[in-house]
Structure 1
Amino acid sequence: MPPPERAPAGFWLRYAAWSLDAACLLPLVLLLGWPILGAAAEQAEAALRAVVAGMTQQLDSFVAAGQSPLAMALALLSDPRMTSAVGQLSSALTTLLLAPPLLYALLACLWSLAFESSRWQATPGKRAFGLIVADGHGNRLALPRVLTRFAAAGLSWLTLNLGHAMALLAPHLALHDRLSGTRVLADSARRVLPTWGRGWLLLQAIAGVLSVAWLFLALRDWTQTLLAQALGAA
């Protein structure tokens, strides 16, 4: 049987495939990163409690003494306990913000190297949608080319996804495709996003809205709890 005729895959097919791979990798990120993230979260909570408590105590004492807000600010900046708490909070937040994407990038690199250089020419997400990654002639990529493509994809992310958005327009090449001389190709008979793929995108949209709402409420409740504890201890 001759190989299927292929053409450049559109943006939404590519995004659906990427998000399916991401759904496979995120549990691994949480599993491997939990010891670091859990410790950083505990450090952040303890440091934030110390900052709030210190500011509350300083505020009470300065209001009672009738001193100016500027004097209070200078005292806070020179307080070694406050400086230490702020430093610990900054360190913990940096870990919480940077560790997950760095760990994800490492796993995604290994994921891409293993699958896109294989006879599949595709990660499991791309394979589920009938996509392959190839050079300009449709040939299988060697490991160095896959690595080059993955490194170039970093520029597509650093451009605030404008590099990915380039795939919206014909010939459907993202920035990293152009830089690495590669293509994402779809079976000509399967270039339309299937029904289950549309459902997958809808599920992501719903999950995104619910996640933002949950995060907002969780942060609000956490902040109120910390303030109440600090005021109660003052």
Structure 2
Amino acid sequence: MRPAGFWRRCAAWSLDALPVGLAALALALPFRSPRTGADALAAAWAQLVDALAHRVADAVTGAHGESGAGALYVLFRGALRDPVLLTAAEGVQAALVALAIPPLPGFVTLFLAWCVGFERSPLRATPGKRALGLRVAAADGRVPGTGRLLLRFFAGSLSWLSLNIGHLLAAIPPAHAALHDRISATRVVMAPDTPDALPPWARAWLWILAAALLLATAWAAAAMGASLQAALDRALWG
């Protein structure tokens, strides 16, 4: 068996996650509008930023008897105990949770059926894996049973909860086995006729995903910085 490399597996997972994610969002629309959830998150974030800006303004102007670096040190040291900041942060957390539900349970349910259904079929792989010449096998090379595939899917949550360290294990040769592969005694392997090199289209797809993630991160950082600056201007100058 030739174990599949980390980037080939990433490309395959993203190809599978895209249609399932879109389907989960479509099914969730009757229960909660994404616009409503986004508006609630924006309002909660604005409340947190305003509260933080007022604390920073007080520190800068010496409203509580401290000023300069000493005041900022006191501010950040006490931020985790500030009831106003904690309440505002809890509002942001609640808005994020509300935005993720119900799409997240729907995605998990659909992805479970997608992965186990296709991997238990004669194809032995999801469409994304098939596109990249991959198969799921037991560690001894045999066809995995339904129970083993279910264990593999649910063990995948540990790979996510470990801040993706479980997934990064797939980059370590020679086994290239992620945490959930090791727990379920399965492997993602390459079909006999699959070339070792990653197809050019798959490389391009990974670069597109990386660029989209970078742009989204830059946009979010700029938007958060602008909102904090605007709130600080309001707190300082009215």
TM-score (norm 2): 0.71
For residues 74-153 of structure 1, what are the structure 2 equivalents within 5 Å? 88-96=91-99, 102-153=105-156
Deviations 1:127-180 (A, max 9, x none): 101111122343333322211111122222223323222222102222221211
Deviating more after overlay: 38-47 vs 163-172: 38-47
> In the alignment, which residue of structure 2 is the partner of 1:182?
186
> In the alignment, which residue of structure 1 is the partner of 2:43?
46
Shift of 1:187: 1.8
Alpha carbons 2:3, 2:176 under 8 Å: kept: yes
Amino acid in structure 2 at the alignment position of 1:219: M
Alpha carbons 1:20, 1:125 under 8 Å: kept: yes
Counterpart secondary structure, 1:189: coil
CA distance in 2, matches of 1:67, 1:137: 68
Is the alpha carbon distance of 1:225 and 1:127 closer, same or farther for their aligned partners in structure 2, counting shifts above 3 Å?
A: same
Runs (5+) with no aligned partner, structure 1 = 1-5, 61-65
- Compute the RMSD of aligned alpha carbons: 4.0
For residues 203-218 of structure 1, what are the structure 2 equivalents within 5 Å? 203-218=208-223
Is the alpha carbon distance of 1:223 and 1:110 closer, same or farther for their aligned partners in structure 2, counting shifts above 3 Å?
A: farther
Alpha carbons 1:49, 1:230 under 8 Å: kept: no
> In the alignment, which residue of structure 1 is the partner of 2:4?
9
Counterpart secondary structure, 1:160: coil
Runs (5+) with no aligned partner, structure 2 = 58-62, 72-77
Is the alpha carbon distance of 1:223 and 1:137 closer, same or farther for their aligned partners in structure 2, counting shifts above 3 Å?
A: same
Shift of 1:68: 6.0
Amino acid in structure 2 at the alignment position of 1:181: A
Q: Is 1:170 aligned with 2:174?
A: yes
CA distance in 2, matches of 1:184, 1:59: 51
Which of residues 154, 157, 165 in structure 2 aligns to 1:154? 157
Which of residues 16, 25, 32 in structure 1 aligns to 2:20? 25
Counterpart secondary structure, 2:122: coil
Is the alpha carbon distance of 1:165 and 1:44 closer, same or farther for their aligned partners in structure 2, counting shifts above 3 Å?
A: closer
Shift of 1:189: 3.2
Which of residues 195, 204, 212 in structure 2 aligns to 1:199? 204
Please identify the structure whose Cα radius of gyration is greater. 1
Amino acid in structure 1 at the alignment position of 2:165: L
CA distance in 2, matches of 1:55, 1:167: 41
Is the alpha carbon distance of 1:104 and 1:78 closer, same or farther for their aligned partners in structure 2, counting shifts above 3 Å?
A: closer
Counterpart secondary structure, 2:107: helix
TM-score (norm 1): 0.72
> In the alignment, which residue of structure 1 is the partner of 2:74?
none
Counterpart secondary structure, 1:132: strand
Shift of 1:44: 3.0
